[in-house]
Chains A and B, each alone.
Chain A
Amino acid sequence: MTKKLKKALTFFDHHVSCISRRVHRVLSSIPQLQFVLFGLAMVIVGYIVYTGSSPGNINVLAIIMIYSMVALGLNLLLGYGGLISLSTAPVMGLAAHGMRILVVGEQFGQVNYFLAIVIVLVLSVFMGLLIGLLSLKMEGIYLAIATLFFGYIIAELAGAFELFSYGQSARMGAITFFGDTSLSWIHDIWTLYLIVVATVTLVVIGLYNILKSPTGRAFMAISRSQHAALAMGISVRRYRFLAFVISTVVAAIGGILYVTFRQRTGAFDSRWNLELSLILLAIVVVGGLKSFFGMFLGAMIIIGIPEFYFERIEAFIINRGWFGESFRMLGFSDVFAGLMIVLAILFYPRGAIMIFYTLKAKLIALKQRKAGRDVSIDVE
């Protein structure tokens, strides 16, 4: 009986390793496939959540996907170009409000949904150039402060004009595709989620391609060794502009996705504020520079786990009446989220994505030890 089991196990083990080797080979020849697989996984996870006991959590999943994508755009700036921006959230907000203005059309008349996307993206390119202008004269903390106030200016202007509904959140309403198909948030949340996953996957593949191309190398060159970049004919100015334009466009896509999914624009002072810019920055730092999966992990740690688990635990304890009233004031989930960020940075200063590398190294060590033991048995 045990012999049979052992045989079956070796048979199984052999086939699993064969398959995994083949998967590995395909993945290393077409690395873009990993993002498609990730997208499919997110569709499955989303479906489980959507049909499960608390379908509202699909909102959190969509937001995490959008933030991961925007964080990857920021990563291109920070991890590759060595530049920093604290105006990501206002840019997202501006794109969201821009979409509403164009699609609802109270002021300038209605525009087709896709045409509105094109207009918003073109405008975001100009915005990126404008922010990029700051980076020609500044670096590091100075650039951070300059972009911070650029973001403030955007938010203040949005608050001053009625056009942006005085910076407050406004309803966009159901989105009309191709004239007749309209998607309302209440009924078609699953379709909207699929749109988010598909767009994020495509944008991430595009960013991955850029980062692995000569353009990506040039970004690294301008941040790691400016002198070498100049001597080799890479214009630091040009690539700084380019880095800001790309990351601003990605942030705008994030804003468009948000408004498409939620069908509300979100307010400048409660959603598109400095806190979100800093959270996006934290996702980049906690998740690990230079990897999309790192961004996703970072978003999970900073937004996902507190939303999914800590708040539930908090509600549970409050309902039981443990620790009294002071517990309600403490804000358990925020405290734990902060603690987790500190722990992640403490143990994985190069990003939470390093967890996988550590696990892989452990696995290999384990396998080798096992192999070593097998050999010694053979000798006996």
Chain B
Amino acid sequence: MYFGGLKAVDDLSFTIEKNQIVGLIGPNGAGKTTVFNCVTQFYKNYEGRVLYSTEDGEALDLRTIDVTKIVRLGIARTFQNLELIPDATVIDNVLIGAAQDVKTNLFDHLVRTPRTRQQNRELRERAIEILEFLNIALLKDMYVLGLPYGVKKKVEIARALIANPKLMILDEPAAGLNEQETQELETLIRKIRDDYGITVLLIEHDMRFVMNLCDIVCAINFGKLLAVDKPAAIQKNPLVQEAYLGKED
């Protein structure tokens, strides 16, 4: 993947197994978010392939899928810089994630047919369930604008969760959280994997968080793969140490 003359991701290849929590780490500018954007098809003109195993076990090249159809395959993501609607309530923000499940059309919405009301009720219930799971159900009718950062992060996760994903892609979920919130997030992500059966791919700079949580860690630098391994092995890897700490002369 190039940006002008800059090579952002170069010959990177790794595999994620079902029900794993995989961490993608690397120094600033290593190309982590670019990888995410390639997977979710925000960028299309990359070289190489992003393969996704569908329900019938077929390998699907994601490049053939439009960015708005990705979520239907069961891939939902969050963003590094919060992408929420500030002047909408928490629950409305979460319901954005259910856009693919809206089966009613504009005419239904115009005259508020019973079908619309039924569907709205169902979606709201599902949203409240998810908000309860994330412990922010009490805030459901608050506007996002004035909420603390930690809650906003959770709203992003809730919005991804309501899309019923099989793979959830989290871009720096712990950034800006305090220690207690980070620990809570750790248990939450584990629960997301165990209770909902969702595979998780995440970018994170908080090393303790990554090493505690992830089954597999993938380290990259300057767009190149450094190592894919268990957390303990990654910590000992000399290449990774060099990328983060520099080389000893």
Contact = CB atoms under 8 A, between A and B. Distances in A.
Is chain B a partner of chain A in the same complex?
yes
Interface of A: 32, 206, 209-210, 213-218, 220-221, 224-225, 227-235, 242, 290
Instruction: Report the 9 A-B pairs with minimum CB-CB distance, sorted nearest first.
Output: A213-B109, A225-B83, A228-B83, A224-B85, A233-B71, A233-B100, A214-B102, A209-B112, A234-B99
Given A206-B110, A215-B109, A232 B159 contact: yes
Nearest to B144: A224
B92 A217 contact: yes
B99 A206 contact: no
B116 interface: yes
B86 A224 contact: yes
Interface stretch (B62-70, B179-187, B218-226): B62-70
B210 interface: no
B84 A228 contact: yes
B85 A232 contact: no
A232 B100 contact: yes
B109 A227 contact: no
Q: Is the interface of A mostly helix, strand, loop or mixed?
A: helix
Contacts of A210: 106, 109-110
Given A227-B83, A232-B76, A209 B67 contact: no
A78 to B, nearest CB: 13
Interface string B118-129: 001001000000
Nearest to B71: A233
Nearest to B100: A233
Contacts of A206: 110-111
B85 A220 contact: yes
B76 A231 contact: yes
B154 to A, nearest CB: 15
Contact of A220 (B88, B97, B104): B88
Contacts of B116: 213
Contact of B99 (A209, A227, A233, A242): A233
A218 B99 contact: yes
Interface in B65-110: 67-72, 76-77, 79, 83-88, 92, 95-100, 102, 104, 106, 108-110
Given A210-B109, A213-B109, A231 B88 contact: no
A228 B69 contact: no
Contacts of B69: 233
Interface residues of B, number: 37
B99 A231 contact: no
A370 B88 CA distance: 34
B95 A228 contact: no
Contacts of A230: 42, 67-68
Contact of A221 (B85, B104, B120): B85
A206 B113 CA distance: 12
A214 B95 contact: yes
Most buried by B among A206, A220, A228, A234: A228
B76 to A, nearest CB: 7
20 contacts: A32-B112, A210-B110, A213-B104, A213-B112, A214-B104, A215-B109, A216-B109, A217-B95, A217-B99, A218-B99, A220-B87, A220-B92, A221-B85, A221-B96, A228-B159, A230-B67, A231-B71, A233-B72, A234-B96, A242-B106
Interface of B: 40, 42, 67-72, 76-77, 79, 83-88, 92, 95-100, 102, 104, 106, 108-112, 116, 120, 123, 159, 163
A186 to B, nearest CB: 36
Most buried by B among A210, A216, A220, A221: A221
B85 A233 contact: no
Contacts of A215: 106, 109
A217 B96 contact: yes
Contacts of A235: 68
A32 B159 CA distance: 28
Contacts of A242: 106
Contacts of B96: 217-218, 221, 228-229, 232, 234
Contacts of A218: 96, 99
A146 to B, nearest CB: 25
A227 B88 contact: no
Nearest to B37: A227
Contacts of B163: 232-233
A336 to B, nearest CB: 32
A231 B74 CA distance: 11
Contacts of B104: 213-214
A210 to B, nearest CB: 5
A229 B95 CA distance: 11
A232 B88 contact: no
Contacts of B120: 213-214
A204 to B, nearest CB: 12
Given A209-B109, A210-B106, A215-B106, A231 B70 contact: yes
Contacts of B88: 217, 220, 224
A230 B97 CA distance: 10
Contacts of B159: 228, 232
B68 to A, nearest CB: 5
Given A217-B92, A224-B87, A227-B42, A232 B97 contact: yes
B73 to A, nearest CB: 10
B68 A234 contact: yes
A231 B110 contact: no
A242 B76 CA distance: 25
B99 A232 contact: yes
